[in-house]
With several copies, the nearest count.
Chain A
Amino acid sequence: MKEGYREVIVYSNKQIASNIYEMKVVSDKDELRFEGKSGQFYMVRGWESLDPYLSRPISICNIEEDRLTFLYEVRGKGTHLISTLESGHSLEILGPLGNGFNINIKGNIALVSGGIGIAPMIYLAKSLHANVDFYCGFRNEIYYIDEIEENVENIFISTEDDSKGYNGFITEILKPEQYDVIFTCGPLPMMKRVVEMCKGKVRVYASMESRIACGIGACLGCTIETKSGIKRICKEGPVFYGEEVLFND
């Protein structure tokens, strides 16, 4: 049997860029360690009230021994509330959920992230045993690059305001033909572009987003359309084979 929501303790929760926070949580029970593969996520609830009603899905950014790291962007009410949690406070999490990335892949691999899509890439880079290049696009401020450095060969950065690295979108400097497999996570238009660029050339795995209610596959609220039918982000995903996904606009 899987555990339901479990209480964990905030070890640290700090702002690392504007609107971007890193939270590490530890278990309150010694025996319990965190499980999960890169690409999987937890439902996070850091408030007692019924507003917000739903918990928020956050990817595993890293797992070190007994410590689970979330990297998240404050977008609305839920993530704002999470950002106010101080060390020592408790919160509830459910997971790990979803399928996660296939980390047994070998060869030359590129990870392509946009903005907060960098979150699952940290643990992915650490989990892969292959040659990994990391492409990360930011709007302006760059963050969390240090955390990934030791696990990848090359890092390519882009910003949209020319503040660092290439000036433009990250997809403009990605060379798909150099890689056997590409993993991507970021805004939908970016992932769509990556899939298009790689079509027929390189296998792409994309971590998709959708509004999550139950998080466990029961409500059919988080579906996306794929070539082989309707799929649940939270169960069959969030990671999908890129060419399968029907990117609607």
Chain B
Amino acid sequence: MTDLTVNICGTDLKNPVIAASGTFGFGREFSEYFSLSRLGGISSKGLTLNRREGNTGIRIYETTGGLLNSIGLQNPGIDEFIENELPFMEQQGTVIMANVGGNTIDEYIKAVDKLNETNIDIIELNISCPNVKKGGMAFGIKAETAYKVVSEVRQICKKPLIVKLSPNAEDIVHMAESCVKAGADGLSLVNTFSGMAIDIKSRKPIFDNIIAGLSGPGIKPIALRMVYQVSKAVDVPILGIGGIMDYKDVVEFIMVGAWAIQVGSGNFKNPKVTLDIIEGLKEFMIEEGIKSLEEIRGII
């Protein structure tokens, strides 16, 4: 028997394939293409205490091997999420992670407090969104700042708390250690890399916000390295993210220490990519005689 399950912070996942925040909405659009119950889990679009309109101007720009985005955390706000989106998500038969962003510690706390009262399985604290001016970014760069927000949220958070790290952190290992010390039950990494692009004809930045977030297969080698380093340093479950396109990428992430993984930009190339990945992973494990993910987790 090949066992794809994995337990993340007390929650059982059918398989290690989670849809990454911001690339999967609240699952609605994808549920038209396949049953979401097949997924290990879904991380919701980044939520903030209050509704956000997101950024103006161009929001998506293709680059070699990936894309820059500047969505700017457009979301309906926690209340509307709980009212309109969560009931739908709860019916899908998969693990639900609420991805939470914020501009201030207070905002994080108020948002998490509201989520405490729901059936959400896991809270994923996004301290890394690079798109909001003076926003999430500030918390994701310096370990000390991250420590502060994570430990304050930890105090009131009744759910398993996963902190999502930014690859722009000064020292990813130190950052990871600080978040764990502050009470994170798990870590997910990486979020997007700060990047930019210029329209050379108009002589202006492509994005109104100038700087945007880079994702996609082009960043995979860096993300993999970060997961490797972090997994050697901490003892909590790690969700690997960054440029995952197929099952082979997943195996790489697991071998460097990820417990599960998230697929982001891959969903844009093919809305059913997560299913292909799950199938491919299963076949690979059978071929290689791998009975459970633990066997290969962190063997590098």
Q: Interface of A with B (CB < 8 Å)?
A: 1-5, 50-55, 94, 211-223, 225, 229-230, 235, 248
| A218–B216 touching, CB < 8 Å | no
B69 contacts which chain A residues (CB < 8 A)?
213, 219, 221
A69 to B268, CA, bound (A): 24
A230 contacts which chain B residues (CB < 8 A)?
53-54, 74
Which of B2-10, B234-242, B253-261, B269-277 lies at the interface? Answer: B269-277
Q: Return the contact of B62 from the options A52, A94, A217 (Cβ within 8 A).
A: A52
| A53–B61 touching, CB < 8 Å | no
Q: In the complex, what residue of chain B is closest to A92 when comparing beta carbons?
A: B270
A113 to B54, CA, bound (A): 31
B269 contacts which chain A residues (CB < 8 A)?
50, 53-55
Given contacts A4-B272, A53-B63, A219-B69, 10 further A-B contacts (CB under 8 A): A50-B217, A53-B216, A53-B268, A213-B67, A216-B29, A216-B32, A217-B28, A220-B22, A220-B71, A225-B56
Interface size of B in residues (CB-CB distance below 8 Å)? 38
Which B15-55 residues sit within 8 Å CB-CB of chain A?
Answer: 22-25, 28-30, 32-35, 45, 53-54
A interface, by DSSP: helix, strand, loop or mixed?
loop
| A53–B271 touching, CB < 8 Å | no
Q: Can you list 30 A-B contacts with CB-CB less than 8 angstroms, sorted by A residue number?
A: A1-B35, A2-B33, A4-B34, A4-B270, A50-B216, A53-B64, A53-B217, A53-B265, A53-B269, A54-B67, A55-B269, A94-B271, A211-B62, A212-B60, A213-B69, A213-B265, A213-B268, A214-B23, A215-B268, A216-B271, A217-B25, A218-B267, A219-B22, A219-B23, A220-B54, A220-B59, A220-B71, A221-B60, A222-B59, A223-B74
| A212 smallest CB distance to B (angstroms) | 8
A141 to B245, CA, bound (A): 34
Most buried by A among B56, B74, B217, B271: B271
Q: Interface of B with A (CB < 8 Å)?
A: 22-25, 28-30, 32-35, 45, 53-54, 56, 58-67, 69, 71, 74, 216-217, 245, 265, 267-272
Task: Given A1-B34, A53-B67, A53-B269, check contact A217 B59 (CB 8 Å).
Answer: no
Q: In the complex, what residue of chain A is closest to B270 when comparing beta carbons?
A: A5
| A31 smallest CB distance to B (angstroms) | 19
Which 4 residue pairs are nearest across A and B when measured between Cβ atoms?
A: A221-B60, A4-B272, A218-B25, A217-B29
A55 contacts which chain B residues (CB < 8 A)?
269
| A53–B33 touching, CB < 8 Å | no
B216 contacts which chain A residues (CB < 8 A)?
50, 53
A217 to B217, CA, bound (A): 22
Q: In the complex, what residue of chain A is closest to B30 when comparing beta carbons?
A: A218
Most buried by A among B58, B60, B65, B272: B60
Q: In the complex, what residue of chain B is closest to A49 when comparing beta carbons?
A: B64
A3 contacts which chain B residues (CB < 8 A)?
33
B74 contacts which chain A residues (CB < 8 A)?
220, 223, 230
| A182 smallest CB distance to B (angstroms) | 28
A150 to B22, CA, bound (A): 46
| B32 smallest CB distance to A (angstroms) | 5
A73 to B75, CA, bound (A): 35
| A214–B32 touching, CB < 8 Å | no
| B272–A213 touching, CB < 8 Å | no
A94 contacts which chain B residues (CB < 8 A)?
271
Task: Given A53-B62, A219-B23, check contact A214 B33 (CB 8 Å).
Answer: no
Q: Return the contact of A54 from the options B35, B62, B272 (Cβ within 8 A).
A: B62
| B221 smallest CB distance to A (angstroms) | 12
Q: In the complex, what residue of chain B is closest to A52 when comparing beta carbons?
A: B62
B54 contacts which chain A residues (CB < 8 A)?
220, 223, 230
A129 to B23, CA, bound (A): 40
| B245–A50 touching, CB < 8 Å | yes
